[in-house]
Structure 1
């Protein structure tokens, strides 16, 4: 966080509330409302384990979606065609250690730790890691311009698949 001023307390609070609301929308399977928080130029990534420091344009990613692909992901998750999520998982998300950095032009870079627990068909899977967001001003608060969920472990340790939105 060198060279960037920490966000004022009110901005820190607003970022925390935004991330908590986003987690709640995902846990409640309110995917359309969640998708409405995405900027038209959103980039959503889950880097392959150990590759988070490498250029995503030249590195394998578990997920690397733009707005169009993310829209398709949401549509599939809501349909019966996402066999890995039909019936859909139940999730509980813990978002902690939120840090916000104000940027020029009103953008905010936010970092947070996460623990997402997924229960499906009697199996409990855990996803642990760190988020990095670029949030930009929107009509009613923030829009997500970039969302990176870096896992602290391999996919196999988390049940072998990432069929949910982390």
Structure 2
């Protein structure tokens, strides 16, 4: 029996259920439904994007992250990106978020850790950019629904010099 199956047996969630959740998250971001995307997070959640090439144990106390949002700051980011005054994203970018290699790493019935690979394509003003790497999640289940407690997106490129910025939600 694989380690994944052993973990799934202990938890009240399956890999297929997690995949469906992550695919829905990607679809909401692709469709620029950021308010609905934010609703996937539990109050008190956080979203982090450390510098490109950072290890999984990157320390926010010692490293300047591209994004280091608590729930309040994340909700303000969503509000700002949906306004016409967010010039860098108005009109908003066309994006496609590809998710693969979803694995449940561990946990219990209260919280579980998940990782997945991603490739996010962003097209704007005749230019296409690729952001790729992996997401690490801490997820919970409340009232039968999966929620994100923490999401960290690790960019595997050497840097983002060519793109110059991360104005979308990876």
The unaligned stretches of length 5 or more in structure 2 are: none
RMSD: 1.7
1:162 aligns with 2:134: no
SS in 2 for 1:74: helix
SS in 2 for 1:6: helix
CA-CA distance at 1:140 after TM superposition = 4.5
Extract structure 1 runs of 4+ deviating beyond 3 A: none
The unaligned stretches of length 5 or more in structure 1 are: none
Shifted more, 74-83 versus 45-54: the winner is 45-54
* TM-score, length of structure 1 as denominator length: 0.91
CA-CA distance at 1:50 after TM superposition = 3.5
Matches within 5 A, 1:84-95: 84-95=88-99
CA-CA distance at 1:101 after TM superposition = 3.0
Shifted more, 102-111 versus 85-94: the winner is 102-111
1:66-123 CA distances to partner (integer Å, 9 max, x unpaired)? 0010001000110012111010000011100000134124312110000000001111
SS in 2 for 1:100: strand
2:138 to 134, 144, 151: 134
CA-CA distance at 1:60 after TM superposition = 1.0
- Tell me, yes or no, if the aligned pair for 2:54 and 2:155 is still in contact at 8 Å: no
1:28 aligns with 2:25: no
1:22-47 CA distances to partner (integer Å, 9 max, x unpaired)? 00000001111100111111110000
* TM-score, length of structure 2 as denominator length: 0.89
CA distance in 2, matches of 1:114, 1:30: 19
2:153 to 126, 129, 149: 149
Shifted more, 137-146 versus 29-38: the winner is 137-146
Matches within 5 A, 1:70-149: 70-149=74-153
